Amino acid sequence: MRYRPVRYRTFMRRVIGEPVPEAMEFGPEHYREAGVGFAPGAGMPLVEAHQLINRWNRNQFEHCFVYWLEM
């Protein structure tokens, strides 16, 4: 059995106070921010995806959004 690394093509975002989250795709700006090559077909690598999500949740001037990853 061949090992396939986990990658994410989307992330979830919810406005604080709103009940319905939305699925967002990782775009070129997200890959650039993570420091990886743009590969929409392959997806964002696991570690970089978690680092981005944690950074976005932590570094908001006013906490307006909650970000997370789902399989």
Q: Which domain holds residue 56?
A: 7-68
Distance between CA atoms of 17 and 46, rounded to whole angstroms? 28
Percentage of the residues of the chain whose pLDDT score is greater than 70: 97
Judged on CB neighbours under 10 Å (0-12, 13-18, 19+), 56 is: middle
Split at pLDDT 50, 70, 90, the class of 1 is low
pLDDT confidence bin for 68, thresholds 50/70/90: very high
In total, how many domains does the chain have? 1
What is the C-alpha to C-alpha distance for residues 66 and 8, in angstroms, rounded to an integer?
17
Residue type, 46: L
> Is it the case that residue 26 has pLDDT exceeding 80?
yes
Considering the chain, what percentage of its residues have pLDDT values greater than 90? 76
Give residue 21's pLDDT: 95
Judge whether 47 lies within some domain.
yes
Looking at the domain assignment, is residue 1 inside a domain? no
